[in-house]
Structure 1
Amino acid sequence: MSETPTLVPMSPRTKLYRHLALTGYFGLFLWTIIWHFFVSKEYSTIFIFLFWVLPLLFPLRGLIKGTPYTYAWANFVVMIYFLHGLTAIYTDDVWWYAAIELLFATLMFIGCCYYARSRGRELGLKLKKLSELT
């Protein structure tokens, strides 16, 4: 098994990236609930939960634990909200709701990218080169 992230000290820059990612994540999570459950109410509650809230719950445990791998793949999840925000800014009358979603998605994306890279280096994790695999 790999070494747990808490045994290796985290640099201040890595902490900043983690805080940026978590601020974006929890902001996006809360804003999604507020927007789709209370403001918009266009779809059923079950649909909103399954399509908008559930995907954000998948990386929650790893983000809280600080696992670099989770921060890396959480970017695939956040792209749904990033693309939705870009589309909604262009098509919706209330474009500022989408701008808030886009802001939180961007914060999470940037924070996750740099945290995964920085923390992965601190832990000695790296991808093998193709020449090393063959």
Structure 2
Amino acid sequence: MSKSRLFHWGAVLSLVVLILLCLAWELWLAPLRPGGSWLVIKSVLLLLPLMGILRERIYTYQWSSMFILAYFAEGVMRGWADSGLAQSLAQAEAVLTVIYFCCVVLFVRERRRQLQP
């Protein structure tokens, strides 16, 4: 398996897991309000880059590397401010965003390296 394929699947997997984590977190595991909260919309926003990532579109990789930083910031802040299960979920969110960011940046770098003569 080439490096770019490895980074591609790392980005796909971390993004899908992040979507599922955010859904479970805000609907069942530790919502801000009993019965779920409107923060579940953050999961829907993560669907925006999914198709472009699956199709290996460089432009999607580039803009999503900046887009994901908002989720990193949320994970760090809620990991610091929340307690219990919500804190653990926030820390998991921060870790997944770092994995995603690294895979995206390395994928773009590797793909550009492959395209250079």
Do the structures match in fold with TM over 0.5?
A: yes
Q: 2:81 aligns with which of 83, 91, 116?
A: 91
Residue by residue, what CA displacement relative to the aligned partner does 1:10-45 show, whole Å, maximum 9, x if unpaired? x71111111211121111111011111111232586
Note if 1:123 corresponds to 2:115. Answer: yes
2:42 is the alignment partner of 1:55: no
Give the equivalent residue in structure 1 for 2:92: 100
**1:46 offset after TM fit, Å?**
7.5
SS in structure 1 at match of 2:4: helix
Q: CA deviation at 1:89?
A: 1.3
Unaligned runs of 5+ in 1: 1-10, 125-134
- State whether residues 68 and 117 of structure 1, in contact with CA within 8 Å, keep that contact through their aligned partners in structure 2: no
Q: Alpha-carbon deviations, 1:94-124, whole Å to 9, x = none?
A: 2211111111111101001111121133235
Instruction: Tell me, in whole angstroms, the C-alpha distance in 2 between the residues paired with 1:46 and 1:40.
Output: 10
Distance 1:46 1:102 in 2: 20
Task: Assess if the C-alpha contact under 8 Å between 1:24 and 1:106 holds in 2.
Answer: no
Quote the RMSD (CA, aligned, Å). 1.9
After superposing on structure 2, the runs of 4+ consecutive aligned residues of structure 1 that deviate more than 4 Å are 43-46
Could you say which structure has the larger radius of gyration? 1
Unaligned runs of 5+ in 2: none
Find the aligned partners of 2:79 and 2:2 in 1 and give their Cα distance. Answer: 35
* Cα offsets for 1:59-87 (capped at 9, x unmatched): 11100101122111111221111001111
**Number of residue pairs the alignment of both structures matches:** 113
Match of residue 26 from structure 1: 16
Q: Residue 29 of structure 1 contacts residue 56 of structure 1 at CA under 8 Å; is this kept in 2?
A: yes
* Residue of structure 1 aligned with 2:104, choices 78, 90, 112: 112
